Structure 1
Amino acid sequence: MLWFLLLFCGLSLADEGGNDPETQSCFPDMCNLLKEFGAMSEKIKSLETRLQESETRLQNSESQILELKNKEGTKVIFSTAVGEGKKHIGPFTTDTTLIYKTVITNIGNAYNAATGIFTAPVAGVYYFTIFFHAGWTHRTSLHLYKNSEMKLSTFDEDTVTNRTDNGGNAGYLHLQQGDQVYVRLFKNSHVWGNAGFTTFSGSLVTQM
């Protein structure tokens, strides 16, 4: 519409020429006004574009801040013990997943006391520890698994001279959401089940 008025203005000036003094003084003012209006419209469009870009950047920043807050808000910490009373667990004729029935803490509810399996609720780096106490009558062989892959081990042979055995291990694991971590007692080995001697613990260090 603006360009049509400018075109009309130019044609009117051409048609009228110098015949009418009033027209000569009127139409130039109108054309100048329309030109100024056109320049102002272009500036407004440019400002609208910049405003939209700023709004987009702001929304992206808000999304990133919200994502960081969610990551900071995820807490995963658990600590467990076998808790089978004053007796040994094992030895068994096959490798067996240990079920740590005594739950000391389970922030995030990622550890399942019925299965002995920890399931990562979010992707990240986790820290795990395993410790055991056992008698001397059988060896002890404990192994921490990520899914079906052995990651950490602790071992002690049976000895007559040393009537009590203690051992442990710890390490960091990079887990994806849904990965499972658990401890297996190898066949023909045992651990002491009383109180908090034989433990399995872990925590989320940083979310990825």
Structure 2
Amino acid sequence: HTEKKLFVCFNSYTEKTMSAFSVVINTGGAFGPFCDHRTLIYNKVLTNIGNAYDPATGIFTAATPGLYYFTYLYHAGGEHRSELLLYKNNEIVARASDHSSKCGDTADNGGNAVVLQLIAGDKVYVRMSANTHIWAANDTTTFSGFLIKMC
């Protein structure tokens, strides 16, 4: 009986503090270039445990202080420059980029990953640099994150 109480207590504790999301941008093909930096709004939500990812803004907001893992991946045509930046609040914490190629390079994939210490209210998001592009179809451009450990 004590085991069951402990299990129920543990489950309600983890459900309230769990945070994990995985999203995809699927807008139908080539995305960009734009004249300014753009926060990517990933419109296909695969997982959003804790609802910390806002599909209207593309921004993850930490509800629980702790250690988090984030990764983002993209697909792009090789003939254009691509660059995605991962931000914590207003600071760039990771970059993934590829220069254009005129040598028959038809496609590129890139990405990056980080572990970040966040406090409640910190925001993490991906921005596409001005005058770059990505491919936004076929589930090839993703953004994911999860809470590793509460602190």
2:76 equivalent among 134, 155, 158: 134
CA deviation after TM superposition for structure 1 residue 180, in Å: 0.4
**2:33 paired with 1:91:** yes
Residue 110 of structure 2 aligns to a residue in which SS? strand
Cα distance in 2 between the residues matched to 1:104 and 1:168: 19
Q: In structure 2, do the counterparts of structure 1 residues 179 and 188 end up closer, same or farther at CA, with 3 Å as the change threshold?
A: same
2:100 equivalent among 113, 138, 158: 158
Cα distance in 1 between the residues matched to 2:86 and 2:145: 12
Q: Residue deviations 1:56-97, cap 9 Å, x none?
A: xxxxxxxxx9xx957644211100011111x11100111111
Structure 2 runs not aligned, ≥5 long: 1-5
TM-score, normalising length: structure 2:
0.88
1:169 equivalent among 112, 119, 125: 112
Cα distance in 2 between the residues matched to 1:160 and 1:79: 33
Q: Give RMSD over aligned pairs.
A: 1.6
Cα distance in 2 between the residues matched to 1:103 and 1:176: 24
CA deviation after TM superposition for structure 1 residue 138, in Å: 1.4
On the 8 A contact 1:92/1:187 being kept in 2, the answer is yes
Q: Residue deviations 1:114-161, cap 9 Å, x none?
A: 100000011001000010000023100100000001001100011122
Name the structure where strand makes up a greater proportion of residues: 2
Percent identical pairs in the alignment equals 47
Q: In structure 2, do the counterparts of structure 1 residues 125 and 114 end up closer, same or farther at CA, with 3 Å as the change threshold?
A: same
Structure of higher RCO (CA pairs closer than 8 Å, 6+ residues apart)? 2
Cα distance in 2 between the residues matched to 1:133 and 1:173: 24
TM-score, normalising length: structure 1:
0.65
Cα distance in 2 between the residues matched to 1:195 and 1:110: 25
